[in-house]
């Protein structure tokens, strides 16, 4: 046989294998073309000439000109994709479900629900425009305002991409012009919160830029990124929790706090990486990666290997020493960003793949539990754990909080990225656990913090059976002085019974809908929206509800954080929109729901 050919049968088999491989690749990589609705929205919101229609006004101080005493990126181990190139190139991992064509009846119902969410947003936006324009937050009962995030118009910046997504072009154009004039050289106070500035302001600017292409937004994002880069101007290049603005202008070193919540330094990587991608300057990502390498080095040396304690010291680079663990407040977005960084890199960043899978397995073993419920619902709850030194083991605390409801969506994202259906299933059970809390409370809204009775005996993720045991529930609630008679069976406390307009539950419902295509999630979202709207509405906007365990006329607090418009209503709206609007195949949403494009070259 000639060395230049193959036998016919062998050639036929080879061709068949190549065709099969091509079909599998096409199936995995296939995405439906943009819908007519989405294309119309893009054409409407981004007309010719809009990219440069507004010119950014330079801030009164040039943060890029600061000569840092300890240049943050100096000495950093160079990453293989210094400017974020791991997210460049063709995407191979499909996140979203393959959605088919919806019926005319289903489309009408979906559009009606979507428009109801949009109307709720427009009410609030008009109130903000009238009573709190260019301020951080609206007071939704008094009609006043407050500045708690440096006075840089947090609600305005945080809402930019929601305005675009909802097709509010006049409002969006006005907002872009206003944002283009924000002065990041001064602030309402001398101390600027690094975490909040990063997720709300920098995230908001880049998310709106990724949707609209408005150059003024990228210009302001770079200004703010250069300011935040100065947070790493410390002797060990770890970031400060609060930036001393006057001192930061001098370039003199800042001083890292003795102890901070782990979410604060752990929630910088996504924004800094995206800024490096958009600008081509590696310094932002390199500064954040130095921090994440500290978390990576310590991940398996903690009391619960795979998880980090709530409190850490970036001053001493000690992320291992504490005894209290949670995926809730103070730690939540640290874990969220592990998976979202992996998604941004399309699974090609080995460090974030390892960080993600380690935390997920540890959380399953030590934090997740199945609650005992009268209806027998097979759901999971993310609790807390405390390390008992005398016993030499971690002890579950069956308390959870609304902030932990993000984790169902994160498990579903990871399950799609890594092709692990069991993780999608776990994410679904966690998400349904949070929906169960909403549906169980008299108001139809979930509380800020609550306890449940774990299943008797085996309450782990793998618990196969969990029969209702009234005596066990009575014994569990007897341990809780916070128990109240208006709590539903299975629940032992509502330690903080407020609903403060938080997004985490609807966030996971949205992700599970987009990942599975299961209509259960959209129906749940509609129930949640109606309850939230009813329980929080004021004459001008929406306000926090003080006690979700009560029905009837709601008791409210004059409080409306920017995340109500930036996140909560956005997730409701996207749940009832065409699945290709901010497709999870094309975007990663930061912890403030700002969509960052998964770059493709």
Distance CA(345)–CA(352), nearest Å, equals 9
Distance, first Cα to last Cα, the chain: 45
Calpha distance 333→563 (Å, rounded):
15
Please report the sign of the dihedral spanned by the C-alpha atoms of residue 237, residue 204, residue 580, residue 102.
positive
Q: Which residues of 320-334 are buried (b: 16+ CB within 10 A; e: fewer)?
A: bbbbebbbbbbbbbb
User: Would you call 171 a catalytic residue per the annotation?
Assistant: no
242 forms beta bridges with: 193
Q: What is the SS3 assignment for 326-394?
A: ECCCCCHHHHHHHHHHHHHCCCCCHHHHHHHHHHHHHHHHHCEECECCCCCCCCCEECEEEEECCCCEE
504 is catalytic: yes
Out of 196, 346, 364, 547, which one is annotated catalytic? 196
- Contact in structure between 524 and 479 (CB atoms under 8 Å): no
Out of 81, 346, 423, 504, pick the active-site residue. 504
**414 CB contacts (<8 Å, ≥6 apart)?**
339, 342, 356, 357, 360, 420, 423, 427
Enumerate residues 6+ apart whose C-beta is below 8 A from 324. 309, 310, 311, 384, 385, 386, 387
Q: Is 591 annotated as a binding residue?
A: yes
Buried b (16+ CB within 10 A) or exposed e, 392-418: eebebbbbbbbbbbbbbbbbbbbbbbb
Burial class (CB in 10 A: 0-12, 13-18, 19+), 48: exposed
302 Cα distance to chain centroid: 25
Task: Assess whether 120 carries a catalytic annotation.
Answer: no
Q: Tell me which of 399, 448, 547, 585 is the catalytic residue.
A: 448
How far is residue 254's CA from residue 241's CA, in Å, rounded to a whole number?
Answer: 10
Residues annotated as part of the active site = 196, 332, 448, 504
Annotated binding site for Ca(2+): 591
Annotated binding site: 591
């Amino acid at each position: 046989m000639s060395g230049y050919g193959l036998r016919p049968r062998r050639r036929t088999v080879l061709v068949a294998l190549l065709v099969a491989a091509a079909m599998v690749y096409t199936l995995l990589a296939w995405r439906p073309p943009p819908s007519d609705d989405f294309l119309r929205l893009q054409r409407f919101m981004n007309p010719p000439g809009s990219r440069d229609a507004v010119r950014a006004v330079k801030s009164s101080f040039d943060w890029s000109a600061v000569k840092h005493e300890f240049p943050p990126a100096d000495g950093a181990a160079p990453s293989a994709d210094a400017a974020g190139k791991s997210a460049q190139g063709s995407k191979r991992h499909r996140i979203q479900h393959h959605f088919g064509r919806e019926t005319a009846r289903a489309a009408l119902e979906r559009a009606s629900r979507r428009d109801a969410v949009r109307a709720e947003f427009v009410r609030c936006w008009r109130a903000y425009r009238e009573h709190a324009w260019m301020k951080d937050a609206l007071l939704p009962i008094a009609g006043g305002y407050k500045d708690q995030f440096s006075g840089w118009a947090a609600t305005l910046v945080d809402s930019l991409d929601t305005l675009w997504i909802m097709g509010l072009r006049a409002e969006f154009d006005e907002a872009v012009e206003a944002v283009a004039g924000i002065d990041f050289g001064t602030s309402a106070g001398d101390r600027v919160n690094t975490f909040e500035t990063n997720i709300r302001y920098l995230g908001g600017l880049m998310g709106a830029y990724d949707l609209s292409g408005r150059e003024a937004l990228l210009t302001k994002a770079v200004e703010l990124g250069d300011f935040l880069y100065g947070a790493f101007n410390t002797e060990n290049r770890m970031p400060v929790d609060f930036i001393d603005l006057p001192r930061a202008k001098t370039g003199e070193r800042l001083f890292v706090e003795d102890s901070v919540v782990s979410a604060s330094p752990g929630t910088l990587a996504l924004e800094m990486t995206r800024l490096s991608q958009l600008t081509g300057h590696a310094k932002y990502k390199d500064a954040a990666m130095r921090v994440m390498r500290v978390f990576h080095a310590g991940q398996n040396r903690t009391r619960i290997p795979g998880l980090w304690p709530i409190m850490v010291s970036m001053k001493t680079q000690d992320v291992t020493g504490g005894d209290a663990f949670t995926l809730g407040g103070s730690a939540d977005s640290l874990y969220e960003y592990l998976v979202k960084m992996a998604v941004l890199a399309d699974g090609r960043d080995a460090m974030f793949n390892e960080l993600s899978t380690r935390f997920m397995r540890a959380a399953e073993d030590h934090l997740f539990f199945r609650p005992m419920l009268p209806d027998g619902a097979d759901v999971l709850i993310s609790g807390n754990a405390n390390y008992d030194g005398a016993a030499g083991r971690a002890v579950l605390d069956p308390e959870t909080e609304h902030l932990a409801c993000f984790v169902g969506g994160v498990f579903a994202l990871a399950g799609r990225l890594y092709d692990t259906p069991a993780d999608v299933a776990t994410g679904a059970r966690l998400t349904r656990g949070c929906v169960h809390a909403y549906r169980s409370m008299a108001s139809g809204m979930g509380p800020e913090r609550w306890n449940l009775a774990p299943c008797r005996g085996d309450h782990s993720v793998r618990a196969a059976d969990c029969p209702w045991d009234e005596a066990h529930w009575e014994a569990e609630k007897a341990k809780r002085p916070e128990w109240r008679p208006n709590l539903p069976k299975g629940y032992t406390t509502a330690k903080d019974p407020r609903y403060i307009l938080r997004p985490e539950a609807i966030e996971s419902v949205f992700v599970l809908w987009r990942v599975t295509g299961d209509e259960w999630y959209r129906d749940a979202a509609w129930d949640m929206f109606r309850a939230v709207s009813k329980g929080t509405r004021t004459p001008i906007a929406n306000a926090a509800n003080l006690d979700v365990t009560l029905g009837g006329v709601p008791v409210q607090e004059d409080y409306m954080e920017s995340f109500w418009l930036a996140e909560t209503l956005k997730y409701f709206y996207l749940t009832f929109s065409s699945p290709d609007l901010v497709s999870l195949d094309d975007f990663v949403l930061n912890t403030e729901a700002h969509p960052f494009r998964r770059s493709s070259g």
